[in-house]
Structures are given as structure tokens and as C-alpha cells.
A and B are shown apart, each in its own frame.
Chain A
Amino acid sequence: MSDKRLIYLDNNATTPTDPRVVDAMLPFFHNVPGNAASRNHPFGWKAEEAVDYARDQIAKLLDVDSREIIFTSGATESDNLAIKGVFEMYQKKGNHIITLKTEHKAVLDSCKKIEKMGGQVTYLDVDDKGLVNLAELEAAIKPETIMISIMWANNETGVIQPMKEIGEMCAKHGVLFMSDATQAVGKIKTHPKELGIHLMAFTAHKMYGPKGVGALFVNRKNPRVKVTSQMDGGGHERGMRSGTLNVPGIVGFGAAAEFARKEMDSDAQRLSALRDKLENAFKENLEEVYVNGDPNSRMPHVCNISFKHVEGEGLMMTFNQEVGVSSGSACTSASLEPSYVLIAYGLGDDLAHSSIRFSLGRFTTEQDIDDTIALVSKGVQHMRDLSPIWEMYKEGVDLDAVQWTEH
């Protein structure tokens, strides 16, 4: 491989800001310094105009009305606003929310918070492919149910939930449908109205925009959805989210949305071919390799894979000077708990500890993938040469029958 070139395959953590997006943002730091809420001078008008333009660009990506976009600081805030805001606004109707065990912590922890405030939450299991069971979902709906919150695509595995079917179910039962679409927006088609989604959280920095700016789509008609604000102050964003708008960030978000709208199909096609190349090479080069999550309902750029009898964090250390990825192993945390998402898929703790997430992006090249295949394959070999359980497995020892000393 060529000289020390860093390969970035952690695009689900965050994407590099597209240089074209940076160019669009730059004038809004100094040349256009206004506060979009300043109504009495050209500085404010120009800032407001830029925000309106960006709001239109984002609305166009989602095929929604621009008045349905509420800017926030990111997807975590959007998730909080949707869940806590709906819970507070719809208290007269009911207090029950249904979600999945595999949701992002921003959703799960918001749900935990509303449980403390008197709410009821059902956390549903998923199947071994990571998909919601629709019959179980429908059975969980009660008269008090106000909302179902299910993420579009999982951050760890890229598994895409059956959004259309869930939307139909929500319409049939008259409950709101909220989706954390952070990993899907800008990468695949995400038109909430087509699928009956009433609230949708997403962020700029997962779609080649800047960090620190996100949005919540809130349906305006049939039904008109409202959330109580979680951030109080000047009454910005139709009273749903106060705080001076991050004008440069929003301009970048808008530009990123426009590039995504124009380029997502070609990006997805190119990246799924590279992802498949990576995945197939591991399957060919190495034994005991397991792909996590439904291969038939998955984001095009994500590969979550377990290399059996190799600990993920140790494996990453063999190549982390060259390649940046994430692991489902959590040997660094005090609890030593591996990924709760993979555990919910029914993976044993050992396979969950052995998992690596590769997430490709717009700037990933074929050379990156070729080098990654070589480096990771070599790393897995190194770790297996060192692994007593790999040796035992090769000798035919039944590892389940071994008396391990838990610690």
C-alpha cells in the first residue's frame, strides 16, 4: 500500500463535510453576519433569506413543505423534541409510546425520561435480522398509545425497517409515527409523507454537511402535529424550538441536502458495489465470518461483520493507524457490555465482541477498499494466531462446554 494514507470507513459516526458545502457556508461567518431573527435591517434579511433558501433545499430532499422543517442542533435534540414534545402535547389522548430495543440512545434515553414523567413505553424486540415483527408491533398498540417511534435505518448495521407497513399501521390505529432517520436521510430516498411518517429526526453531519445542525420534520396537515418546545426563549421555529438559528450551519445543511438529492442514487450504486466487494473478500479470504443484519434490507454503504474468535477492539488496534472503523465490542467501557443492538439481534456476546462496522461514504475510493481488505484480513490472521479460543475451535473443542471463569 502507498505511504501512510488514512482510510476513513466510519461514515456512520460522521461524514466529512463536502468541500462544496464548506464553500457555500463560508460567506455566512463574516460577510453575512446577521441574525435571521433581526427584522429591521438588511443584515437580518440576508440571513433570513439564506435560511429560507436552505429550508427549501431540505424540504425538496424530503418532498415536504418547507414550513414543516424545524431546525435544531442535531438529531439527538430532534429525537428529544419529538418524543418529549409529543408526550407532553398529547397527554390528554394517552401516555403510551412504542419503540424498539435497537433504537439509538437518543430515542431510548428520551423514552426512559418520559417513563419517569408518568409515561409508559414498550420496547419491542427485533428478529435475528434486526427487523421489527409487525404482528407484535400491532399487538402492542393500546388505546393509550400516542406514538410509535422506529428508526429508519440502524446506525450499527444499516438495517432498514419496513417503514411503509409501519406507516399504514399507524394510520389505521390513529397513532403518530415518528422516525429517527439520521442514517437514512441523504443516502436513500426518504419521503415521510409517502410513508405516513409524522415526525422525522435527521442531521447535517451524516450527509456531508456540518456538525451542530439538525432538523425535525413535523407534519402540518392531516394530521396537524404539534410538539411542546423543549428549549424556551424567543419563540423561533414556530415556537417549537427557541434559539438563534445557526445560519452558516443551516446554509451548509441546505447545500448538503441539494447535493444529496442530486447524487444519492449514483453514490448509493457506487458504494453498494464497494461494500459488496469488501464483504465478499472477507468471506473468501477468511473462515468464520458473519454478516450482521438483514442483507436484503440494508443501507448501501454499511457492512457490520463479526470475525469469530477475534476480539473487535484488539483487531482494530492492528490497523487503526491506517483505517478508521467502529467496533461493537466495548472493552473500553467499565461494564464490558458489547453492543446492545447486536445482542438484540440474538448474537451471542462472543460474536458481538467480534464485530466491526465498516461504513463507507462519498469520498471512499476503490483503493481504500482494496487496502482495507488487505489490512483487515492480515489483522484477523494476527489475532487468530494469538487466540486460544481459535486454537481450541480448530482442534474441535466444544467451546460451549468449556467451564469459563466469568469476571
Chain B
Amino acid sequence: MAYSEKLLDHFKNPKNVGTLDKTDSNVGTGLVGAPECGDVMRLQIQVDAEGIIADAKFKTFGCGSAIASSSLATEWLKGKSLDEALAIDNMAIVEELALPPVKIHCSVLAEDAIKEAVQDYKSKNS
């Protein structure tokens, strides 16, 4: 199947690959998926004093669509408030990357990772 240019670019030149210190209280980490299912996504956010996501990083084990979905998610997260981050819908990712129907679960995984990262940050700072 043919993938969109945007998807291929995120796959070949992924943005914001890396690791933040998960023990840092300003960092929220979301780890979703399972190796048995063929995809694992780790998405991390670093939140500044104003409650704005200053940095986001990811690492993903999975297919091209999973990698592109998480790369795109980190780009979208930067500069957003936590509430704005929680409002990111998987279908927006599907549209932006033109994911084929069999790959929609990759965008769902990205949305889950965002929610888990925000949740992790909130529970550390409650």
C-alpha cells in the first residue's frame, strides 16, 4: 500500500526521538502497547511552571504508521496546555497522516500514550 508523503517523512526523519528523565517531577511518561502485539509506544512530556508542555519526546517499536503517529503527536504536544493535550483526537492524526483503515489502531495508541503521559504528570504533581 502507498503511504502519504507526510507519513513517510515522519517515519524517515522522526521528530523528537529521545528520552526524558522519567523520575523528574516535571516529566510525564506514557508507555502503551505490548511487544506481543507488534507495537509499543513511549511518549514523554516535560511541563513548565505555567503548565505548558515545553518538550515532548518519543520512542516507538512498531510499524511505520505507529512511528509516524507518535512523531506527529510529539510535534503537536509542544506548546499545548495539559487540557489541550487531552483534547487531541486520534482521528486528527488519521487525517493528517492519511492512515489507511488497518492502521487506525496506531493513532489510537498515540492518543492513549498522550493521555497516559498527562495522567502520569498529574499524579506526580497532585
Contact = CB atoms under 8 A, between A and B. Distances in A.
B62 interface: yes
Contacts of B67: 314, 386
Interface string A371-398: 0000000000001011111110000000
Query: SS class of chain B's interface: helix, strand, loop or mixed?
Result: mixed
A388 B38 contact: no
B38 A311 contact: yes
A314 B61 CA distance: 8
B59 A334 contact: no
A389 B11 contact: no
Contact of B37 (A314, A349, A387): A349
Nearest to A353: B38
Interface in B48-96: 59-64, 66-67
Category for how many chain B residues contact A: 20 to 34
A313 interface: yes
A391 B35 CA distance: 13
B35 A386 contact: no
Interface in B38-52: 38-42
Interface string A322-348: 000000011111101010000000001
Contacts of B66: 311, 314, 331
A388 B11 contact: no
- Kindly state the interface size class of chain A when it binds its partner: 20 to 34
A349 B39 CA distance: 11
B64 A317 contact: yes
A261 B14 CA distance: 50
B1 A385 contact: no
A407 interface: yes
Contacts of B112: 405, 407
A350 B37 CA distance: 7
B36 interface: yes
Contacts of B36: 348-350, 353, 404, 406
A406 B34 contact: yes
Contacts of A406: 34, 36-37
Contacts of B1: 332
A349 B35 contact: yes
Given A336-B105, A349-B35, 17 more contacts: A311-B38, A311-B39, A314-B62, A314-B63, A318-B12, A330-B38, A349-B38, A353-B35, A353-B38, A386-B17, A386-B60, A387-B61, A388-B42, A388-B60, A391-B19, A404-B36, A407-B109
Interface of B: 1, 3, 11-12, 14, 17, 19, 31-42, 59-64, 66-67, 102-103, 105, 108-109, 112
18 contacts: A311-B61, A314-B61, A314-B63, A314-B66, A331-B38, A331-B39, A336-B37, A349-B38, A353-B35, A385-B17, A386-B59, A389-B40, A391-B59, A399-B35, A404-B33, A404-B35, A406-B37, A407-B32
